[in-house]
Amino acid sequence: MFKKLNILDEKDSHLRKISKDAKLPLSKEYKKLINQIIDELTYSQIEEYAEKYDLRPGMGLAFPQLGINERIIVIVYEYDDGKFENYVVVNPKIVSYSDEMIAAEAGEGCLSVNREVEGHVKRHARVTVEGYDVDGNKIKVRAREDLSIAFQHEIDHLEGILFFDRIDKKKPFYTEQEIRLI
C-alpha cells in the first residue's frame, strides 16, 4: 500500500537548520523510511504512477525535508529509460569537485518548493562524495552532470540551504558562453 510522504514546504523552519550527523547503523524505522522515499521518488519519475498518486517529479530528498534534521540523503537517478539507480548516503561530504561549473538549463526544482523559481544555479560538473551506507559501511560516489547537481542540491539541504539561495539575484541566467548548460 503506497502512502505519500509528508514533505515540508519551504516556509518550514526545519529546512533552514543545519543537520546533525546521523547515528550508525541506522534504525529499522529509518531504513523503512528510506525505502518509502525510494518508492516515492521512483514513482514520481514514472508518468503513470506520478499521475495515479499525484506526485511531483523528483530525484532526490534529504531528511530535513521530512522534518528530521539528520544528515541523510536519498537520490533515485534514472540513468536510462525506466532504469533507476538508488543512492543513499549517510553523513555525506563532498571531498573533491571539478573546477568546471554547469547549470541545469531549465533551472532546478525542489519537492519543498511548490512554485516556479527562475534562474540558473551554478554547480560543479563533477563531485566525489564520501559517507556511509545504511549499515555504516564507508562509501564513495563519483557523480557527474545532472547526478552531480542532485548531490550538491541534497547536501545543501543538510546545511539549511535551498537551491534558490544560490541564484545570483543580479544575474539569474547564464549564457552557454559563460557556463555549460545541461
- pLDDT, one tens digit per residue, over 72-120 is 999 999 999 999 999 999 999 999 999 999 999 999 999 999 999 999 9
Does residue 1 surpass a pLDDT of 80? no
Q: All 3 cell numbers of residue 76?
A: 533515485
The domain segmentation of the chain, as residue ranges, is: 13-181
Pseudo-torsion of CA 62, 172, 125, 79, nearest 10°?
60
The catalytic position among 40, 70, 108, 154 is: 154
Cα–Cα distance for residue pair 103/105, rounded to 1 Å: 6
How would residue 2 be classed by pLDDT, with cut points 50, 70 and 90? confident
CATH of domain 13-181: 3.90.45.10
Q: All 3 cell numbers of residue 126?
A: 563533477
* Res 55: pLDDT: 97
Strand pairing class (101-103; 180-181): parallel
* Res 4: pLDDT: 95
48 catalytic per annotation: no
